[in-house]
Homo-oligomer: A and B are copies of this chain.
């Protein structure tokens, strides 16, 4: 796979997390500040939305898993393909999370529920729009509910 698409960070994360641990993200508050090259107007009216989708780069991920494996190396859970799990060690190392917008001040937004470490480069931010949320019931296997047990605590 030849890298063929070049991206630039549009913002960076500032928060209290730096340990790359998996759980306990529920009380983390993060600031996201635009890079100097982008004007504050990029965030205009963003606070007319309550939630945002944040695409970021797992810049500390050093491995890339392809194929399938047990999530979190837990043999009690089934082997699933890398695109059937949200593990960071994935092709392109992209992270994606829906966050809650607390406030916008100039070129900085403050958000809750962002599961990214301090210093993480952000690649895009989009407003959550109801018409883009899943239509119909969301089906998921039991293992992921177990995996998520302490995630937002």
Chain A contact residues, CB within 8 Å of chain B:
1-10, 35, 37-39, 41-46, 48-53, 55, 57, 66-68, 78-86, 90-92, 94, 96-98, 100, 113, 121, 123-141, 144-145, 148, 151-152
Q: How many copies does the complex hold?
A: 2
Q: A5-B9, A50-B134, A97-B132 are in contact. List 7 more A-B contacts (CB 8 A).
A: A1-B8, A42-B83, A45-B80, A85-B127, A86-B126, A86-B127, A128-B134
11 inter-chain pairs at a CB distance below 8 angstroms, sorted by A residue, are: A1-B35, A3-B6, A4-B9, A5-B123, A7-B92, A41-B68, A44-B68, A49-B139, A100-B135, A129-B144, A133-B138
Say yes or no: A67 contacts B91, CB within 8 Å: no
A10 to chain B: closest residue by CB: B91
Complex CA gap A103/B2 in Å reads 28
| Known contacts A90-B124, A127-B140, A133-B133; A84 and B45 CB within 8 A of each other | yes
